[in-house]
Amino acid sequence: MGEYEGAAAFARHFGGAAEGVWSAPGRVNFIGEHTDYNDGFVLPIALPHRTRVHARRRADDALHLVSTAAPAPASYDLTALRPGAAGAPGGWSAYAAGVAWALRGAGHRVGGAELLIDGDVPPGAGLSSSAALECAVATALRALYGIALTAPETALLAQRAENAFVGVPCGVMDQMASMCCTPGHALFLDTRSLALAQEPLDLAAAGLRLLVIDTGTKHALADGEYAARRRECELAAVLIGVDALRDIESVAQLNVLHDPVLRARARHVVTENARVLRTVRLLRSHRLRETGPLLTASHLSLRDDFAVSCPELDLAVEAALAAGALGARMTGGGFGGSAIALVEAAGAGAVSAAVLRAFAAAGFGAPRLFEAVPSAGAS
Ligand code: GAF
């Protein structure tokens, strides 16, 4: 649905016009997976796909939510919002209500509002549709109520909504990507200090393309396994005696871990942080093409050491590499969702065709392929 259809839908549901339209993008992570909740490094880019919020203030404390992707609207009393309470928002509306709750909890004066949500970030594809929704709602409420928050501060409140209200123990990468990315750049983020740098990612100038392969699958164990990985990493850090796995500089330090599973999980995080730093160095010296092997190494580490891949993601990566991709990896939390492949512009069609053929031959549903163009953060 475009912006004009959104405005018409707002008028249909609420009568009259919205005060404005705010939006925030989904993301793909170029490299740096499962490092954000270990105080590590990430390098995401914003997608052109965005979640839009048409919004208007109300004089009372009611929050009325309509999503063009959901069958039923939702309404809440802002003063009564409590995470986990009986009748607390669930499903998509929890992400939006959670943001209002987090803003109010941080002491910001957010009153009632009518929000019409639409957009084109594919849900459940590992492309951060949740963060796009949170950040679009946060940006809308921030503007409507004149709240002075920087983009990183807004991202932290959106993450708080997801952690404490929705109950998903995610790191801060997706919200920071959605708030802080800029067109033509990847966001190099230190998730401990929140220091960030915009790294030019000029794919076209290098004669390259970044393909997204949305496998169309989401395995049921995704949420539980994500939380389990987080706990394993935290336990490994405690056993080694560091604040977070980010503090480990060499895999030799992991030898104190006797449990081979914990050692493998920690090895992924340590080697992945090193891969992010190497990737940034290559980007800064205009050697984008040479990042391909690092992407592939990241996938193998996520598959073998971190055990968050799945047959569809592995096949997407293998088929893309066999057809000439310079590098490929799963992106996001894993257990389904999307992979990315760095390809020569001239070879993009052949790689796409090979991936489609491989999925058909394996009896998997057809993946959806599109090009990732580094785009703007929330506005
Ligand atoms: C999900 C989470 F939301 C992020 O915080 C991050 O941990 C990612 O998985 C894995 O890198 O997208």
Ligand 1 atom closest to Cα of residue 36 = 7
Report pLDDT digits (tens) over 145-200.
999 999 999 999 999 999 999 999 999 999 999 999 999 999 999 999 999 999 99
pLDDT at 253: 96
Q: DSSP readout, 354-375?
A: HHHHHHHHHTPPPPEEEE---B
**Would you give the DSSP letter of residue 162?**
I
Residue located nearest, by CA, to atom 2 of ligand 1: 170
Report ipTM for this prediction. 0.99
Residue located nearest, by CA, to atom 1 of ligand 1: 333
pLDDT surpasses 80 at 314: yes
Question: Do residues 10 and 142 make contact, with C-beta atoms less than 8 angstroms apart?
Answer: no
Output the pTM of the full model.
0.97
Report pLDDT digits (tens) over 87-105.
888 899 999 999 999 999 9
- Determine whether the shortest distance from the Cβ of 306 to ligand 1 is under 6 A: no
* Residues near 239 by beta carbon (within 8 Å), at least 6 away in sequence: 256, 257, 262
- Determine whether the shortest distance from the Cβ of 39 to ligand 1 is under 6 A: no
Name the residue of 173, 191, 295 to mutate for ligand 1: max ligand atoms within 8 A of Cβ.
173
Among the ranges given (85-89, 106-110, 197-201, 315-319), the one the predictor scored with the smallest mean pLDDT = 85-89
* Residues near 250 by beta carbon (within 8 Å), at least 6 away in sequence: 270
> What DSSP element (H or E) covers 100?
helix 91-105
Question: Do residues 229 and 212 make contact, with C-beta atoms less than 8 angstroms apart?
Answer: no
HSE, CB side, 13 Å, CA atoms: give it for residue 346: 2
Residue positions counted in the chain: 379
> What DSSP element (H or E) covers 200?
strand 196-200
- How far apart, in whole angstroms, are the C-alpha atoms of residue 270 and residue 268? 6
* Residues near 249 by beta carbon (within 8 Å), at least 6 away in sequence: 270
Helix crossing, 260-284 with 292-304: angle to 10°? 170
As a three-state string, the secondary structure of 106-167 is CCCCCCCEEEEEEECCCCCCCCCHHHHHHHHHHHHHHHHCCCCCCHHHHHHHHHHHHHHHHC
Active site residue 314: no
Report pLDDT digits (tens) over 198-257.
999 999 999 999 999 999 998 877 789 999 999 999 999 999 999 999 999 999 999 999
Q: How confident is the model at residue 84 (pLDDT cuts 50, 70, 90)?
A: confident
Report pLDDT digits (tens) over 28-43.
999 999 999 999 999 9
User: Mean pLDDT across the chain, nearest whole number?
Assistant: 96
Ligand 1 atom closest to Cα of residue 33 = 11
CB neighbourhood size of 197 (10 A): 13
CA 36 to centroid of ligand 1, rounded, Å: 7
Beta strands in 286-377 (DSSP E): 327-331, 336-344, 368-371
Q: What are the tokens at 220?
A: 């049921």
CA 140 to centroid of ligand 1, rounded, Å: 24
- Determine whether the shortest distance from the Cβ of 332 to ligand 1 is under 6 A: yes
CA 333 to centroid of ligand 1, rounded, Å: 5
Domains and CATH numbers, the chain: 3-198 (3.30.230.10)
| Selected catalytic residue, list 118, 174, 214, 305 | 174
CB neighbourhood size of 309 (10 A): 22
Q: What sign has the CA pseudo-torsion 323, 329, 334, 335?
A: positive
CA 362 to centroid of ligand 1, rounded, Å: 28
Q: Which residues pair with 209 in a beta bridge?
A: 343
Question: Do residues 248 and 254 make contact, with C-beta atoms less than 8 angstroms apart?
Answer: yes
pLDDT at 150: 98
Return the closest-CA partner of residue 159 out of 172, 143, 150, 146: 172
pLDDT surpasses 80 at 131: yes
Report pLDDT digits (tens) over 258-282.
999 999 999 999 999 999 999 999 9
- Determine whether the shortest distance from the Cβ of 50 to ligand 1 is under 6 A: no
- Determine whether the shortest distance from the Cβ of 112 to ligand 1 is under 6 A: no
pLDDT surpasses 70 at 2: no
pLDDT at 1: 59
